[in-house]
């Protein structure tokens, strides 16, 4: 199985670090899982303009195909203005309506204040569900204070939630695959 993590931030390092931690927790729980991190700041994903995917640049095609070819996914985004990033929303707009059918789609978000933790449930989760993703019960919100100066997650409770999310995602995806 291949787990792809998508960091929906175009700046900073906290969100890709959080997504990476979920990927590593999944790899630790099941070493046979192949993992890949797609950090949107490393790609020039074009704005959706209604044309077929083949009309877009190579980066856009690569990112969309990587996501569609994944067995399951973890999406990470910082919360800006009580919402996911525009870059991540734009990426979702490139995908067909059933892009995540029979795929587990986990969520991890980062934010400066705990006032943003419900964005995951009320903004990101409906998008993943609309695209037919199977959304785990657990999700993880990581506050800026949960990181140390080296951008490592220092909060043991958050690390525990990351491990539980990875385990739940693996369990659900194996069940969907009939394994």
Domain ranges of the chain: 2-177
By the 10 Å C-beta count (0-12 exposed, 13-18 middle, 19+ buried), 113 is classed as exposed
pLDDT in tens, 22-77: 999 999 999 999 999 999 999 999 999 999 999 999 999 999 999 999 999 999 99
Q: What is the CATH number of domain 2-177?
A: 3.40.50.360
What are 83-109's pLDDT values in tens digits? 999 999 999 999 999 999 999 999 999
Is the pTM for the entire model greater than 0.85?
A: yes
Confidence of residue 13 (pLDDT cuts 50, 70, 90): very high
Classify burial at 124, counting beta carbons within 10 Å of its beta carbon; exposed 0-12, middle 13-18, buried 19 or more.
Answer: buried
């Amino acid at each position: 199985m291949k787990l792809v993590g998508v960091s929906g931030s175009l700046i900073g390092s906290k969100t890709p670090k959080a997504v990476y931690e979920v990927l590593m927790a999944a790899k630790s729980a099941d070493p046979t899982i192949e993992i890949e991190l797609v950090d949107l700041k490393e790609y020039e994903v074009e704005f959706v303009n209604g044309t077929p995917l083949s009309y877009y640049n190579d980066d856009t095609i690569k990112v969309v195909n990587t996501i569609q070819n994944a067995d399951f996914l973890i999406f990470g985004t910082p919360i800006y203005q009580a919402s996911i990033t525009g870059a991540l929303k734009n990426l979702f707009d490139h995908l067909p309506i059933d892009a995540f059918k029979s795929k587990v789609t986990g969520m991890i978000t980062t934010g400066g204040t705990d006032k943003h933790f419900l964005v995951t449930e009320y903004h990101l989760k409906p998008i993943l569900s609309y695209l037919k993703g199977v959304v785990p019960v657990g999700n993880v919100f990581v506050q800026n204070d949960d990181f140390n100066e080296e951008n490592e997650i220092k909060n043991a409770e958050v690390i525990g939630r990351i491990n539980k999310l990875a385990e739940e995602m693996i369990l659900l995806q194996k069940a969907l695959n009939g394994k």
